Amino acid sequence: MVGKSENGAIMDHATAWFVRIQSGEATAEDRAEHARWMSEPANLQEYMKVAALWSDFDVVGDPRKDNLQKTGRGNLLSRRGFLAGSATAIVAAGVVTASLPIAAWTADYSTGTGEQRVVKLADGSTASLDAETAIALDFTENARALRLIRGRVFFDVAKDPSRPFRVDAGDGSTTALGTRFAVHKWSDNVTIAVEESAVSVVASDRTSVIVRQGENVTYATGGGVGAIERIDADAETAWRRGKLIFENRPLGQVIADVNRYRSGMITMTDTALASMRVTGIFSIDNPDGVLDAITSALPVRAVYLSRYLVVLSSA
């Protein structure tokens, strides 16, 4: 019997093989090795699962927009639509996780791909939403609480000492001690950057830290706060001016940014790629320019499985 960890390894290999074969760069030796690998029934079974799911993404287009599909028999949710737009459409043990329109259903304010929005809150604060962002509000007489469901928001907080201003994201929270700061939820991480004054950040393990002007910090879901870093505040909020500026940022965070401005999805077959560092200045109007720069500067290869789905793997 194949155990859970072994089955996951087979699925990872199946995904890697599928990307290699579909890339058009597979050699005769690669295809011979692939055939030998496929001769094992367990390998063949996982490979066919991966192939079927990738094919569904190709048919439905951008999985973030087309999660409700019509069939020829009326308004029914098709199998492909369900795979692409379900609450967590997962391909090959987490290689692809769709950004979900369902998240917006619980939001008070949200934006779509390439869309930004500035919201004036009831207390006089403003929330500048980046693309593919959703927030939910819970304002009471005693507190001002928001939940960042997805994406990134820059807050300019109105002073009200009697009602603390708190932003929950992931399983941690950020409380304003001043006015201007950004909260960015990407992958399983949350990054807080302070432009003015300071904030108090509490992670899921209840560790906490004060982040001051010109600093940022990241916490991971289920983990503690990381090291405080000095930042260029203008670079951190460049998206508000139509630019994406990365200064030694992890590739996983860069891809999360690019996916907000590009129809479809870019993902990775190898989680180790996420820690590679990227530096550059790009326009949000040309997200594919970031992709081109990544494949030129890093040992990374892009495989276009469809017009909407791009997979990055080690070169």
Residue type, 225: V
Domain 242-314, CATH 3.40.50.300 — does that match? no
**CA pair distance 272, 100, nearest whole angstrom:** 24
Find how far residue 264's CA is from the centre of its chain.
12
Main-chain phi, psi angles of 265, to 5 degrees: -150, 140
Residues in the chain: 315
* Alpha-carbon gap, residue 164 to 202, rounded angstroms: 14
Q: What distance in Å separates the CA atoms of residue 207 and residue 204, rounded to the nearest whole number?
A: 7
Own/partner contacts of 273-276, CB < 8 Å, gap of 24 or more, are 273/300, 273/312, 273/313, 273/314, 274/187, 274/250, 275/250, 275/251, 276/250, 276/251, 276/300
Q: One-letter amino acid identity for 31?
A: R
Answer whether 103-231 and 242-314 agree in fold: no
Nearest to 203 by CA among 193, 215, 189, 214: 189
- Considering the segment(s) 103-231 as one domain, its CATH architecture is Sandwich (2.60)
Boundaries of every domain in the chain: 4-98, 103-231, 242-314
Q: pLDDT 10s digit of each residue in the chain, 315 long? A: 334 345 567 777 777 777 777 666 677 787 778 778 877 878 877 777 666 655 554 444 444 444 333 333 333 333 333 333 332 333 333 443 344 445 556 799 999 999 999 999 999 999 999 999 999 999 999 999 999 999 999 999 999 989 999 999 999 999 999 889 999 999 889 999 999 999 999 998 999 999 999 999 999 988 899 999 999 888 889 999 999 998 888 999 899 899 999 888 888 877 788 899 999 999 999 988 888 888 888 999 888 877 778 888 887
